[in-house]
Amino acid sequence: MRPVYVAGVGSTTFGKHLDRNLRSLGGEAVAKALVDAGIDRREIEAGYCGNALGAMLQEETGVGQHVLWEVGMGGLPIVNVENACASGSTALHLGWQGVASGQYDAVVVFGVDKAVMPKGTPLKVGAAEMEVRLGDLFPGYFAMVAQKHMEAYGTTLEQQAKVSVKNHDNGCLNPYAEFKKPLTVEEVLASPMIADPITLFSCCPNSDGAAAAILCSEAVVRRLGKPRVRVAGSVLATGLYDNQRDFSHWEIEEKAVAKAYEQAGVGPGDLSLVEVHDAFSICEIVHYEGLGLCARGEGGRLIDEGATAIGGRIPVNASGGLLAKGHPIGASGLGQIAELTWQLRGEATGRQVEGARVALAQMMGGSKEADARACNIHILIAE
C-alpha cells in the first residue's frame, strides 16, 4: 500500500440551511476542497459520497452523482455510502483504499446531510430487533451508557457537563460551528431533561452541512506543492455484538484504534489532538478511555484536570465537536478531517493547537446490543 495524502479540504458551516438542498451543500464543500488543493476537477478519478439520511428524509438517492454534477463533474466512478453517523468517514476509508492500492491518483471524498427536521420528529436507533421492540431512541441508548459508566466508575454529572462546557467554548472559536454561545456547568445541568441523566445541553444538534477532502498520491501532492498531511492509518470496524450487557465501553472502538495505532506506527502518547463522536457528553468521556488517552474509568478525571482543553495535554474536539459544531450525520466524519487538516497545517485560527503533528479522528455509527454498528479511526500526520 502506498502513502495517501490529504491535498485539500472544504466545508460548509454546520447548522440550519432550510433554503438549501443536498446538492447545494455538497457542491459547496467539494468546490472548496478542489480550490484548497489547487487541483483541476478533471484530474479527479473517482468520488465517494457519505450520506445517511437522504433516502429517508429527502427521498433522494444517488446523492453523490447529484452533488458532483453540481460542480460539473461527471463520467467518473461514484460510490454512495450509507453507514449511519460513520457514512462520511467510511467514504473516506474507501477513497483511501482506492489511492493506497494504486487504482487512483486523486479522488474526492465528501459527506452531506440535511438532518434538521420538524420539532418532535424522532430518529430511532435502527431496525435491530431488540431495540425496536423496546422503542429505543438515541438519547435513551446513550442515557444507559451514562448510567452504566456512573455506576461502574463513579463518573459524575458535573464531569459530563464539563465536556459540554469545553466544547461550546471551542465552538465559539470556530466559524463553521452551529453554536457559538458559551455555557456553564450549572446551565447544562439545569437544561431540560431528555433521558435521565442526559439533559438538553448534553446533546448534540441534528444539523445540515457538508464537508469534503481531496485524497491523492505522493506524486500528486508533491506536484501540487501542498503541505504534506498523510493519512497514516485508516480503519473501518464492525462490532462483534457479544457485549450485550456492559454499556460502559465500546469494544468496537478499542479494537479499531489498536489496529489504527499499529498501522500508523504511533500510540496514544504521540497524539497532538483528537476529534471524537461526542453525540452526547458522556460519549467523549468513554472515548477518552477507548482510545487509550487514559485508563478505563479515568475519563472523568481527564476532563476535571483540563487535559482535553485547547492548551491541555491532549486537546479533544478543538472544533467544538458534535456538541457545538453540529452533527450533519453523514458529513460529520469529514468535518473532523477538515478540522484536523487545518490544525496540522497551522491554519485553525483562534483555536490552533500549537505544534500539532499527529491527529486522530474517531467516528461511530448506529448501535446494536451494547456496541456500535460501525467505527472508523483515521490518523493524520503532518510531514
Contact assessment for residue 377 and residue 275, using Cβ atoms and an 8 Å cutoff: no
Q: Please say whether the structural domain 129-199+233-382 has been given the CATH code 3.40.47.10.
A: yes
Contact assessment for residue 214 and residue 39, using Cβ atoms and an 8 Å cutoff: yes
Task: Extract the C-alpha cell encoding 23.
Answer: 446538492
Q: Is 74 left (phi over 0), alpha (psi -120 to 50) or beta?
A: beta
Residue 368 has what pLDDT?
Answer: 58
Q: Give yes or no on whether 5-117+207-230 and 129-199+233-382 have one common fold.
A: yes
Peptide bond preceding 197 in cis form (omega within 30 of 0): yes
Q: Write down the catalytic residue from 49, 85, 204, 216.
A: 85
Give start and end residues of each alpha helix (H) in 12-61: 22-37
Helix axes 157-171, 281-290, angle to 10 degrees: 100
Residue 241 has what pLDDT?
Answer: 58
In order, the DSSP letters of 1-15 are ----EEEEEEEPPPB
Q: Which fold has domain 5-117+207-230?
A: Peroxisomal Thiolase; Chain A, domain 1 (3.40.47)
> pTM of the full predicted structure?
0.94
Q: Is 85 a catalytic residue?
A: yes
Distance (Å) of CA 373 to CA 49, 86, 363: 19, 9, 11
Supply the DSSP symbol for 49: E
Task: Give the CA count within 13 Å in the CB-facing half-sphere of 116.
Answer: 14
Task: Indicate the helix (H) or strand (E) that contains 190.
Answer: helix 185-190
Structural domain boundaries of the chain?
Answer: 5-117+207-230, 129-199+233-382
Residue 237 has what pLDDT?
Answer: 94
Separation CA 158–CA 262 (nearest Å):
35
What's the average pLDDT block by block, 10 residues per block, for the chain (383 residues)?
A: 98 96 98 99 98 83 95 96 95 99 99 84 50 58 92 97 99 98 99 97 97 99 96 92 70 94 99 98 97 98 98 99 98 99 98 99 77 89 98
Separation CA 34–CA 339 (nearest Å):
16
Q: Is 378 a catalytic residue?
A: no
For 152-183, give one letter per residue: b (16+ CB within 10 A) or e. Answer: ebebebebbbbbbbbbbbbbbbbebbbbeeeb
Q: Write down the catalytic residue from 17, 168, 327, 378.
A: 327
- Give the distance from CA 129 to its chain's centroid: 27
Contact assessment for residue 109 and residue 9, using Cβ atoms and an 8 Å cutoff: no
Separation CA 34–CA 44 (nearest Å):
9
Residue 54 has what pLDDT?
Answer: 86
